[in-house]
Structure 1
Amino acid sequence: MDYLHHVRRGIDYIEARLDSEIDLADVARHAGISQWHFQRIFKALTNETLKTYVRSRRFANALDKLAHTDERILEIALASGFESQAAFTRAFKKAFGVAPAGYRKSHQRIPFLRKVRFDEDYLTHLHGGVSLEPEVTVHPGRVLVGMRTRFFSVDSEKNNFATKLPALWAGFMPRIAEIEGGVASIGYGVIQQTPAHTDELEYLAAIEVRADAAVPDGMVRFELPSARYARFCHRGHLAQLDQTVNYIYSSWLARSGLRHTFGPDIEVYGESYRHESDESEVYYAIPVAE
């Protein structure tokens, strides 16, 4: 039996009904297998329950409406499966640290659940290419020096990260020797939203330095504050790193009980990183809070 095909059908059924009641038995029926089998297969493939996934996708749909439409919050709440605006507001604030109305006014874009891409590469990655549960720890503050660019990620119609980021690292690596006061042979990729909070992002390729280190021409200084991070290990070629990020945001974050703080994400390139190698390891960390 092609289980992947059945799961895809179930996912498509959910995606078409995010604004209405979704019965798990109907999802399984549309997928062509029993509810028990579908839920068990789904949990094995994604490391989360089908009920959690449906709730998270409807939350993501609500986020999109708050950001891009003028639809009333009450209507959004009811379409998301909540019995009242008050219940929706409580759940929203618990998950994201801000009320729906405040989120709409702030123009702060919450990174959250994308539709899971159930293809062979993604499933293979889940079963060996990423640590499904992260190490959650407090990272001390540090000072970085490096080179910066702006880019659009795979979530944007203007996606250009595949050209912008490799070009940035190619320009930065030969210049690392110019940086005095480096404290470790570890590279950092720092990803954060631009001040305008559009879908354009900023990326910093950098190394850690002493606090009094000079900044070479054409580079910038960046102070990374102390924060609690959930750190995942990405195993394999760097070209598949987006699959790890997709898992973090589309699966783990939704069921973790934690929320993204809107601080910068971090890529950590240590001794286990191998350029252009399937044997490479890179760490990807997101800042989290209760």
Structure 2
Amino acid sequence: MGWIEGIQNAIEYIEDNLTEELNIQEIAERACISAFYFQRIFNILCGFTVGEYIRCRRLSMAAQELSKADARVIDVALKYGYDSPDSFARAFTKFHGIPPSSARIKGANLKLFAPVKIKLILEGGTMLEYKIVEKAQFTVIGKARRFDTETSSSEIPKFWEEHNKSGDKVVCGMYGVCMDIDGKNFEYLIADNYLPWNEIPDGYETRVIPAGTWAIFPCRGRLPKSLQDVNKRIWSEWLPSCKEYKLAGNYDVEMYTPMQGNPDDYYCEIWIPVEKI
């Protein structure tokens, strides 16, 4: 099964189980990748999180059912996973702009959120620069924080802003390290290399990055755009077309060089652990 086919299998599993309790681990299994990577890839390819997709599809389907005269709000709410008519009404109104009770009115303005279809479209013919490197085990020290995949894209930049304003003398921020916790949550460290003979100050933590093979992708340009652009191309172009390597491990690393301001030629890297197919 190809990589794109795996993602589509996961989406079809979601579609077949919209009225059931959905577990991210079980969804990711249909794509044959970890929940950690599945959620990141899905977000990059689709532009929204797995959780947002499920919520929007359920609310779209609920509206279609409520437009029928014999559908009761409480029955539809329970069918699509809401504990009470009130919580369903709030979500429905936020999504559609009208309350559930108005859905059956003729001409009601209801939003349709269609199922996603994943396709690989090759265009442009530009090559994504990368290299495969073997790295020994290394240890990092830094400030760690737990993030939910649903909200991390907005919260991690705030974490960096907080760090940069703090005047931290222990960690300059050579690395941004993502480490999976349970598929839904992950730990992110703003970190530097750790020397084992140094003390670990209060509030700081160390993490061991295992020895292994890494695909390293250079990013050139102003942050965060250069990093985001390369990250998107890794998951939408490189990974689907790569025939020699597959993802390995539930962690990845951003490597930052010293920065003065935010220059147009700034250099950083994205490191993805891989293994031979």
Q: Which residue of 2 aligns with 1:260?
A: 247
Compute the displacement of 1:274 (Å): 4.7
Q: What pairs with 1:245-284 in structure 2 (closer than 5 Å)?
A: 245-257=231-243, 258-271=245-258, 273-284=259-270
Report what 1:166 is aligned to.
160
Correspondence for 1:175 among 168, 174, 182: 168
**Deviation of the 1:149 alpha carbon:** 1.7
Q: Which runs of 4+ in 1 moved over 6 A?
A: none
For 2:205 and 2:183, the matched residues in 1 are separated by: 21
1:242 CA drift (Å): 1.5
CA contact (8 A) 2:219 2:267 kept: yes
Partner of 2:271: 285
Whichever structure has more helix as a proportion of its residues is 1
Structure 1 residue 192: deviation in Å? 2.2
Cα distance in 2 between the residues matched to 1:142 and 1:68: 42
What is the TM-score when the length of structure 2 is the normalising length?
A: 0.56
Query: Partners of 1:137 and 1:238 in 2: how far apart?
Result: 24
Q: State how far apart, in whole Å, the 1-side matches of 2:152 and 2:138 are.
A: 32
* 5+ long unaligned stretches in structure 1: 1-54, 72-98, 118-122, 180-184
2:127 equivalent to 1:142? no
Deviations 1:253-287 (CA, angstroms, capped at 9, x unpaired): 1111221113311111125x554221101011100
Relative to the length of structure 1, the TM-score reads 0.54
Q: Give the match for residue 232 of structure 1.
A: 217
* Alpha carbons 1:137, 1:230 under 8 Å: kept: yes
Distance change in 2, residues 1:101/1:163 (3 Å): closer
Q: Offset of 1:169 from its aligned partner?
A: 3.2
Distance 2:203 2:186 in 1: 19
What is the deviation of 1:148? 1.2
One-letter amino acid matched to 2:269: Y
Give the superposed CA RMSD. Answer: 3.7
Q: Percent identity?
A: 19
Which structure would you say has the larger Rg? 2
Check whether the contact 1:145–1:209 (CA below 8 A) recurs between aligned residues: yes
Q: 1:65 to 1:168 in 2, by over 3 A?
A: farther
Kindly indicate whether the alpha-carbon contact (under 8 Å) linking 1:138 and 1:227 is maintained by their aligned counterparts in 2. yes
* Counterparts in 2 of 1:188 and 1:69: CA distance versus 1, 3 Å: farther
